[in-house]
Structure 1
């Protein structure tokens, strides 16, 4: 399974819901959502700063990650984004792949 980082920033409506439901309940909802998509939550943190929520999880494939991102954003409570995470070994493998690339201006 591949790892993903989901970041979320609550809308005003989402913050009201978080205040009503509480962090533990929202974390349980998120965990159930990811597990129902065939994944597993590795870490979930609420935060101050650029984003309100950070989730590191495993999902079966990019389609599952995209589906979760689309459904969560469509619901309107958060602005969310998904980042595919790579292990050091995956970067090593990528570094060994030869590709033809021409930089701009050359």
Structure 2
């Protein structure tokens, strides 16, 4: 389900799922998220060979750890997948703001178990349409012209 832009009262993910973290209620500024959907983020990661060796000898469901990391900043883990290809896995996260997601990414990246960890802020179709409208107002000039 697409998130409206701007979010309408009672349309956030918490409102749709009934799963709400009270950490954002009563705050101000960028964290004022009551009844609004939080931004979504897609992370792709790769483990080091040493991490794969440890997981092979001692299999562990890493979703639980990922969930704890994002919940510590008031967010939610929406998905955790392993994959074939250029990256070992993908996560879909919801976080109160970019700073909170950056904190999670920094903590995970600094742990040494990953060889790569890239996070992308996801935009809804509505957010992209709004950006397109704003882009039309910008008078871009190519370099050297």
TM-score normalised by structure 1 residue count: 0.89
Q: Matched residues in 1 for 2:140 and 2:111: separation?
A: 40
Task: Provide the residue aligned with 2:91 in structure 1.
Answer: 55
Q: Matched residues in 1 for 2:117 and 2:54: separation?
A: 16
Bigger RCO of structures 1 and 2 (CA < 8 A, at least 6 apart): 1
RMSD: 1.4
Question: How many equivalent residue pairs?
Answer: 105
Higher strand share: 1
Q: 1:101 to 1:4 in 2, by over 3 A?
A: same
Unaligned runs of 5+ in 1: none
Q: Matched residues in 1 for 2:47 and 2:100: separation?
A: 22
Q: Does the 8 A contact of 1:46 with 1:54 survive in 2?
A: yes
Q: Matched residues in 1 for 2:72 and 2:128: separation?
A: 29
TM-score normalised by structure 2 residue count: 0.67
Q: Tell me which structure has the larger Cα radius of gyration.
A: 2
Unaligned runs of 5+ in 2: 1-37
